[in-house]
Amino acid sequence: MQDRAALLRLLEWQTAMGADDAVLNAPRDRMRTEAKSAERPRRVTPPAAPVTQAPAPVATAPQSAMLAGAKELADAATDLPALRAAVESFDGCSLRRTATHTVFADGNPEAPLMLIGEAPGADEDRIGLPFVGRSGQLLDRMLATIGVRRSENAYITNILFWRPPGNRKPTPEETAICLPFVWRHIALKRPKIVVLCGGTATAALLNRSDGITRLRGRWFDLLIPDLGSVPALATYHPSFLLRAPAHKSESWHDLLAIQNRLNSAQ
Ligand code: URA
């Protein structure tokens, strides 16, 4: 009985620490997994010139080498399947060790519209696709009001390809290490329009510190290496709308703006 009480206390502690979801049926010894992955040859490449339109965050020497490795791997990909494989093979982001799946993208790669969110949550991590949980269902319903369906005319991804434990906010380092893949993702996907869903995607790709409430509803030009300028709209994240439904009217304006742009881009 005492054992049971101790186990319950341990479970409560894990939940409080953000381990709120059993992602596997059987326990996995992550120390062994890590030891094995440490034996694998690491891709370390010489630093390369940054390609992001914005200055890269200040990084320590090992981080700079990792960032250069990420950029080299991303830039070597010449199509979306190659980029997916590159992301799946990349072991420079520690989130990968706690995630069940790499979440790359969903939707039609030929679609004119590319939506970029923050990071996979528990449902996305379990299934391996972006925006499949509650906020994704809201996003699908919102897009449907302007005739957009992910299987037909939308392509969806995130700034991070792995779930941050307990759905915490990604750190600047985690975001920075994924960004070379995100820039390359846009370049290879060649969208007519990008929609930045929420503050994390907006801040990461526009390199602006103003909050999403200031930036939402505004169009920006993303300068994409090997592609050129792509219009990008900043909008609220659907999970924010689930918490604050009164802001849905502003998102409705954004949806109409997306529809107008899509119509004129055809
Ligand atoms: N929130 C995101 O930003 N992305 C997802 O894929 C799911 C929830």
> With a 6 A CB cut-off, is 107 part of the ligand 1 pocket?
no
Q: What is the pLDDT of residue 24?
A: 53
Grade residue 3 by pLDDT with cuts at 50, 70 and 90: confident
Ligand 1 centroid to Cα of residue 10, in Å, is: 29
pLDDT reading at 42 higher than 80: no
Ligand 1 centroid to Cα of residue 163, in Å, is: 9
> With a 6 A CB cut-off, is 135 part of the ligand 1 pocket?
yes
Q: What is the pLDDT of residue 61?
A: 72
Ligand 1 centroid to Cα of residue 116, in Å, is: 9
Mutate to test the pocket of ligand 1, among 102, 158, 159 (most ligand atoms within 8 A of CB): 158
Q: What is the pLDDT of residue 13?
A: 56
pLDDT in tens, 143-177: 999 999 999 999 999 999 999 999 999 999 999 99
pLDDT reading at 83 higher than 70: yes
pLDDT reading at 215 higher than 60: yes
Are residues 248 and 141 in contact, defined by beta-carbon separation less than 8 angstroms? no
What atom of ligand 1 comes closest to residue 135's alpha carbon?
8
Nearest CA to ligand 1 atom 7: 131
Least confident of 18-32, 35-49, 200-214, 243-257: 35-49
pLDDT in tens, 175-193: 999 999 999 999 999 999 9
Q: What is the pLDDT of residue 4?
A: 73
Least confident of 55-69, 85-99, 138-152: 55-69
Spatial separation of the C-alpha atoms in residues 237 and 246, rounded to whole Å: 13
Are residues 189 and 148 in contact, defined by beta-carbon separation less than 8 angstroms? no
Ligand 1 centroid to Cα of residue 119, in Å, is: 5
> With a 6 A CB cut-off, is 119 part of the ligand 1 pocket?
yes
CATH 1.10.760.10 fits 63-265, yes or no: no
> With a 6 A CB cut-off, is 191 part of the ligand 1 pocket?
no
> With a 6 A CB cut-off, is 106 part of the ligand 1 pocket?
no
What atom of ligand 1 comes closest to residue 198's alpha carbon?
3
Q: What is the pLDDT of residue 198?
A: 98
How many other C-beta atoms are found inside a 10 Å radius of the C-beta of residue 177? 24
More reliable by pLDDT, 169 or 5? 169
Grade residue 15 by pLDDT with cuts at 50, 70 and 90: low
What atom of ligand 1 comes closest to residue 201's alpha carbon?
3
Least confident of 1-5, 196-200, 202-206, 212-216: 1-5
Q: What is the DSSP string of the chain?
A: -HHHHHHHHHHHHHHHTT-----SSS---HHHHHHHHHHSPP---------SSSPPPP--HHHHHHHHHHHHHHHH--SHHHHHHHHHH----THHHH-SS----EE-TT-SEEEEES---HHHHHHTSSS-SHHHHHHHHHHHTTT--HHHHEEEEES-SSPPGGGPPPPHHHHHHHHHHHHHHHHHH--SEEEEESHHHHHHHH---S-HHHHTT-EEEEEETTTEEEEEEEE--HHHHHH-GGGHHHHHHHHHHHHHHHHHH-
> With a 6 A CB cut-off, is 131 part of the ligand 1 pocket?
yes
pLDDT reading at 48 higher than 70: no
pLDDT reading at 25 higher than 70: no
Ligand 1 centroid to Cα of residue 40, in Å, is: 30
Average pLDDT, whole number, for the chain? 87
pLDDT reading at 110 higher than 80: yes
> With a 6 A CB cut-off, is 121 part of the ligand 1 pocket?
yes
